[in-house]
Amino acid sequence: MSENKLAGQFFDAAIGLLHRVRDEEGDAITAAGTAIADTVAAGGRLFAFGAGHSSLAAQDVVYRAGGLALMNLLAVPGVVGIDVMPATLGSALERVDGLAGAVLDSSPAKPGDVLVVISLSGRNALPVEMAMNARALGLKVIGVTSVAYAQDTKSRHKSGSFLKDHCDIVLDSKIAVGDAELTTEGIDAPFAPASTVVTTALMQAVMAAAAGELAERGIEVPLLRSGNVDGGHEWNGRVMSEYGDRIFFRH
């Protein structure tokens, strides 16, 4: 089997998953977009959290061209990326009880704000407690996860529950347990994960739905422009000045 054939199979698998989430998660995407629009309209703030590779989809909607300027990354030291040494420490921190509460208590998040919690498996202590504690603080929680894990694996949280059990809205990424789309003779382990592609697409779909909802209400959509187009820096400077009290990735 040629490498090109495997590459094509990965594209087919990813496209198939994108079709599924578009067709099957439409209502949840609309609900999530509406929740974000409601929060923006009410003067609230937006936060996104993910650990390990799930953080990539959270980072993708923070401080980027074409994105909502009000979306902030809720960062947990050591779990946002693979820059921590050793890389396995990030995975270990996801299983530490109490870390989510410490982060939320030190964050600017307030009742009425929205927190998007992204976790492919949704089974580790950190994302479960992040959602639980956020709701206890009065935040609306949107979970982005693979519901299949809750059906086919055991929770690592002491409650036995999963991320999906502590969310106001759940977006199911449809990713199979193990997050690897391909197998072939001569390669012992499954490979080619698609969760980043699908989860990032889900997040951008929600942002698009939120922008459309705000526009329908006649409310300015606080979007950022690319700094690489003429006038982009000036546009972004105005947006950050007008909405500075809700933007926490700047000083």
Task: Give per-residue pLDDT as tens, 11-23.
Answer: 999 999 999 999 9
pLDDT at residue number 214: 98
pLDDT at residue number 76: 82
Question: Taking the CB of residue 217, how many other CB atoms lie within 10 A of it?
Answer: 12
Share of the chain above pLDDT 90, in %: 80
Question: Taking the CB of residue 13, how many other CB atoms lie within 10 A of it?
Answer: 17
Res 1 pLDDT > 60:
no
Instruction: Give the residue from 55, 48, 59, 58 showing the smallest Cα distance to 78.
Output: 55
Buried/exposed 93-126: b ≥16 CB within 10 Å, e otherwise: bbebeebbbebbeebebeeebbbbbbbbbbbbbb
- 251 pLDDT band, cuts 50/70/90, is low
pLDDT at residue number 3: 53
Res 2 pLDDT > 70:
no
pLDDT at residue number 83: 72
Task: Give per-residue pLDDT as tens, 64-113.
Answer: 999 999 999 998 887 877 777 787 887 887 777 778 888 998 899 999 99
Mean pLDDT of 183-204: 96
